Amino acid sequence: MDLRQSFSDHITRAAGDAETALAAARGDGAAFEGIVLHAGTRAYYHADDMAMHFRPTPHFARFAPVPGPDHFVVVRPGTRPKLVQVIPRDFWYEPPGEPDHPYAQVLEVVQTTTPDEARARLGDVARFAYVGNDAATAAALGMPPSAVEPAALLAPLDWTRAAKTAYEVECIREAGRIAARGHRAVRDGVATLRTERELHAAYLEACGILEHECAYNNIIAWDECAATLHYETKRHTKPQPGHVLLVDAGARFHGYASDITRTYARPGAHAVFWALLDGMEVLQRDLVGRVGPRRSYVEIHEATHRGVATLLVDAGILHTSPAEAVERGFTRPFLPHGVGHHLGLQVHDVGGRQVSPRGDRREPPASSPALRTTRDLEPGHVVTIEPGLYFIPMLLEPFRNGAAAAVFDWQLIDALVPCGGIRVEDDILVTADGREDLTRPVVPGHRDN
């Protein structure tokens, strides 16, 4: 793909989306002449001169893939978006480098050396809206507080981020390819029982990335720790017993994320766990097959609970029918998260619960409060499909002590708790007539090579 052309087309779409959002806000009585998108300002640790790792405002990053704080993008209808970049003259810190990317051939670019100079180069933006993390910067630009991230503008802007341009899809695809190198390295370390810390180091090395360049904190969990959904500790002790490894790890490319999970079992793992893992692989493939234009993501989530119920019943963990297991909420302690989420500049991308550009929302079903996407799918959306099944003592406890305790095989559950859990996660592009799995071609399933 010709990156310059695709980025140029991307900016045409993004600028058009911004103009549509401005028109919608005007219709809502919030009239702005344009939008100032701010990369944002750095945050510091309390009472310290050390800065936290900086991540730009996603709406800014959609226009300009430049690292570091303080830059602006000015969107003024009818003109080319302007990037006002801050490249400090500094001998304490290396200024953020310029990425190998054709942005400077597509945007109008003004380079400055200080935030003050950058603000001065914006022109008169007092009647613009401000999007970013620093209301003081908006005030310094002469904007009233009502111009800071007004809901009437943010809602349509967030809405449009869900449908990716061809450029964005390529970035997510490349982020998947980078992560795939790390996943291969982790997989190679399963047989030799490498520690979580060693596997994490092997992942970074294989991807060629630093810790802060990950899409999110890698989850690399042996055995019972796989049941902690966002397990971020990396133990340096040898896995004991080392029967199950869950790895949830992604990467970034020009700001866009991949988000990929695989679970591996070793020969000593409980036979029922092996059956659940193989069953989960089949279920995940079925769920991916349900992704498509105008499909309900909530229905895919509901199908996930039906699939998990069948796995639990077939494994002898629940003594009831799959339908009754779902109906009576018996799958919930085993699957407390949603089937996935939108993916893009943010790992959990904005707008997943929006059902209109105006910001109308669809809340998740009461039985699944953690479901992040309730919006129906459209071509260009990229979502994860990540069914899971975990043995989480804290969530199982009320059922163990409840009226329906006899439905559960507690002896078997107790034998499976040391296995932790299972998650299988791929990144899926919704196409005009179906879907494309961006992950499978580069990260095989646990039994594939």
Residues that bind ligand GLY in the complex, under the rule CB under 6 A: 216, 248, 259, 347, 386, 425
216 binds, among ligand GLY, Mn ion, none (CB under 5 to 8 A by kind): ligand GLY
Nearer to ligand GLY, 70 or 386 (CB): 386
Nearer to Mn ion, 36 or 172 (CB): 172
Least CB distance from residue 60 to ligand GLY, whole Å? 23
Nearer to Mn ion, 70 or 425 (CB): 425
Separation CA 255–CA 56 (nearest Å): 9
Nearer to Mn ion, 168 or 349 (CB): 349
Type and span of the H or E element at 11: helix 3-27
Number of residues that bind Mn ion (CB under 5 A): 5
The DSSP bridge pattern shows strands 219-222 and 244-249 to be antiparallel
Separation CA 227–CA 230 (nearest Å): 9
Least CB distance from residue 228 to ligand GLY, whole Å? 12
Nearer to Mn ion, 112 or 384 (CB): 384
Q: Is 349 in the site for Mn ion (CB under 5 A)?
A: no
Q: Give the number of C-alpha atoms closer than 13 A to the C-alpha of residue 194, restricted to the C-beta side.
A: 17
State how far Cα 40 lies from the chain centre. Answer: 20
Token code pair at residue 222: 């042996």
Contact status, residue 428 vs residue 382, Cβ threshold 8 Å: yes
Token code pair at residue 132: 């970013």
Question: In this chain, which stretch among 64-72, 87-95, 251-259, 436-444 interacts with Mn ion, using CB under 5 A?
Answer: 251-259
Least CB distance from residue 220 to Mn ion, whole Å? 12
Q: Nearest 5°: CA angle at 389, between 386 and 391? A: 145
Least CB distance from residue 372 to ligand GLY, whole Å? 8
Instruction: Report the side by side order of strands in the sheet with 382-385.
Output: 382-385, 426-430, 435-437
- Binding residue (CB under 5 A) for Mn ion from 310, 320, 384, 439: 384
Nearer to ligand GLY, 347 or 355 (CB): 347
- Binding residue (CB under 5 A) for Mn ion from 70, 168, 248, 437: 248
Q: Nearest 5°: CA angle at 344, between 97 and 79? A: 65
Q: Which residues bind Mn ion (CB under 5 A)?
A: 248, 259, 261, 384, 425
